[in-house]
Structure 1
Amino acid sequence: MTKIFIARHAETDWNRYKRIQGGGSDTPLNETGLRQVKCLAGRLATEKLEAIVSSPLGRARVTAEAIAREHGQVAIEFEPDLREIDAGEMEGMSVNQIGGSLGVLLTAATEDGLPRLPGGESLNDVRDRAWRVIEKLVERFPDGEVLIVSHYFVVLSLVCRVLGLPPEAIRRFRMNTGSLSVIEVDAAGTRLIVYNESCFQVDSKPW
């Protein structure tokens, strides 16, 4: 059985002020985010991680680095397929500018399926590339524990995939910055065993 810890990166000011923070933004963690990574690193310090795989974006990288310091012999691998959704022309806009949450726009099904953001990706795109990462890790560590550090839409797309839900079901979930979810994968299938575990309570900030 492969046990995969999935961390959402800690808070940035763009999360706090609800700006669209997709794969094209490399925003730093704020003070709250730095406290969250310290707490998250402490939570994972006693786990026997064999690999740490992170989105290359700075907010995920710093989160992964804090955790890696508790696991001295485990180097961080950077995986482009764990980047946040490509928001295209909407990158950096406030939710007020787009008239609502990005999640609502992404789940507004059309005759052709879920929409692709102008100049960007769809939830299906995100789910498919992120699940390839999971499959590779299961193949590499069939009886191990690994950590991935990623982003809101990536993590929720994986959760929906594990639960057998369509990608548009992300609207039924909320997830804190700096939170931890855990899945297990074996020959019998996939299971979600922890969701949105947070070291301390913060407001849910999708962006």
Structure 2
Amino acid sequence: MSVKKIYLIRHGQTDFNVRGIVQGSGVDSSLNEAGRRQAARFFAAYRHIAFDKVYTSLLRRTHESVQGFLDLGLPHEQHGGLNEISWGTREGTRITAEEDEEYHSVLQQWRAGQTSARLEGGESPDEMAARQREFIDLMLSRPEEETVLICMHGRAMRAILCQLLGYPLSQMDNFEHHNLCLYQLDYTGSMFTVRGFLDMRHLQDTYA
């Protein structure tokens, strides 16, 4: 079996990111000017890659982050399994340690292995991982797609990396992320290996 090459990116910056407002799966925001520059930089750096498929979540900020590739006519598929975790009633609100003790308490529970915990009206990491597995199974069932580009969200990216690389979800925070960062993975048919970790070289001078 040939090696499947996976380019996994987080969406570009939004105004909600700048303001520290939780988006989750319920806030369908667009990229801001900086996010559009990030997307353009990534496209310029990787447009030469012959992607067989572009996968995104259902949310517009992921579509906008790969618009350059979609404009080339590359096959595109949206999948709800790539959506960000639902933060329930906290979506659309600004969260800081001082303003919301409950939010940070839930994060601590996750780090302690209690990945069934959730915020009010929200989704647990276990529930998010279950829908991600549907996407993973679908992607791996398509060996003809040898090189794929996946655009998703920060917390969801941490969870899917745990699943692909065999880590418990309690280790999610070990996978750092920034807007339009890149992880590169290879799949040999039996295991995933990391070729690139939190690569941001394509964003050089983005904010100049």
TM bucket normalised to smaller: 0.7 to 0.9
Report the counterpart of residue 92 of structure 1 in structure 2: 92
Is residue 130 of structure 2 the alignment partner of residue 128 of structure 1? yes
Does the Cα contact within 8 Å between 2:10 and 2:151 map onto a contact in 1? yes
Instruction: Report the number of matched residues.
Output: 199
Residue in 1 that maps onto 2:203: 200
Please, which runs of 5 or more residues in structure 2 have no aligned partner?
none
- Which TM-score applies when normalising by structure 1? 0.86
Q: For 2:169 and 2:8, locate their aligned partners in 1 and report how far apart those are by CA, in whole Å.
A: 18
TM-score (norm. length: structure 2): 0.86
Counterpart among 174, 177, 189 of residue 176 in structure 2: 174
Once the two structures are superposed, residues 19-40 of structure 1 have per-residue CA deviations (whole angstroms, 9 ceiling, x without a partner) of 1110000111111101100011
Deviations 1:94-137 (A, max 9, x none): 1123238x576235158965302211111122222223212211
SS at 1:140 equivalent = coil
2:5 is aligned with 1:3: yes
For the 8 Å contact 2:56–2:62, the answer to whether it is kept is yes
Tell me the equivalent position of 1:205: none
2:74 is matched with: 74
Q: 1:106 to 1:112 in 2, by over 3 A?
A: closer
Shift in Å, 1:93: 1.5
Distance 1:85 1:13 in 2: 19
1:177 aligned counterpart, secondary structure: coil
Trace 1:140-159 onto structure 2 (pairs within 5 A).
140-141=142-143, 144-159=146-161
- Judge conservation of contact 2:53–2:145 (CA < 8 Å) in 1: no
Counterpart Cα distance in 1 of 2:181 and 2:23: 17
Q: Which ranges of 4 or more aligned residues in structure 1 deviate by more than 3 Å? A: 109-114
Question: Is the Cα–Cα contact under 8 Å of residues 154 and 177 in structure 2 kept in the other structure?
Answer: yes
CA contact (8 A) 1:4 1:184 kept: yes
User: Does the 8 Å CA contact 1:23/1:86 hold for their aligned counterparts?
Assistant: yes
Contact 1:51 1:147 (C-alpha < 8 Å) held by counterparts: yes
Structure 1 runs not aligned, ≥5 long:
203-207
In structure 1, distance between residues paired with 2:174 and 2:29: 27
How far residue 5 of structure 1 moved from its aligned partner, in angstroms, is: 1.0
Q: Give, in whole Å, the separation in 1 of the partners of 2:194 and 2:47.
A: 21
Q: Does 1:51 align with 2:53?
A: yes
CA contact (8 A) 1:106 1:114 kept: no
d(CA) in 2 for partners of 1:142, 1:31:
36
Classify 1:37/1:177 alpha carbon distance in 2 versus 1 (closer, same or farther; 3 Å). same
What corresponds to 2:116 in structure 1?
114
Q: Aligned partners of 1:166, 1:104: CA distance in 2, in Å?
A: 19
Q: Which stretch of structure 1 is more off in the superposition, 167-176 or 23-32?
A: 167-176
